[in-house]
Amino acid sequence: MPTRASISKRGKGPIRAEAEPDVTANHAPIQISRGVGVTLVVASLLGLAFVGWKAPSVLTTTVGGFALALAFSFPRLPLISGDDTAVTVRLVPTDEDLVVARHTRRLIEQEH
């Protein structure tokens, strides 16, 4: 079955389909005024304080849950720095070839 782009219109050549917008592109940030931003931050802090005051166990459970999620999301990587150094250095395995291949595929797909 012919596609819309391949059907000619009265012999004038193929109809060109308009390019669809790239919905995966970076979106524009929402613009809010400074006053609204300050109001949102203050309201969030007041809400958090209210929850901590009325139900401290909820706040403790929530903070503890975030801490556990962070602790389990970072696996123990091999330590390559010494014990007496000021900076901790860990060995992070990477696959540069895979990264280059993915970037190349993305560039080729954008051209077509």
How confident is the model over 32-88, as pLDDT tens digits? 889 998 999 999 999 988 888 888 888 778 778 877 777 777 667 788 888 888 888
Length of the chain: 112
Higher per-residue pLDDT: 14 or 85:
85
Map out the domains of the chain as residue ranges: 33-111
Q: What φ, ψ does residue 8 adopt, rounded to 5°?
A: -90, 155
Residue-level pLDDT at 44: 92
Which residues neighbour 79 within 8 Å (Cβ) at sequence distance 6 or greater?
A: 88, 89, 90, 91
pLDDT of residue 108 exceeding 80, the answer is: yes
pLDDT band at residue 17, thresholds of 50, 70 and 90? low
pLDDT of residue 4 exceeding 80, the answer is: no
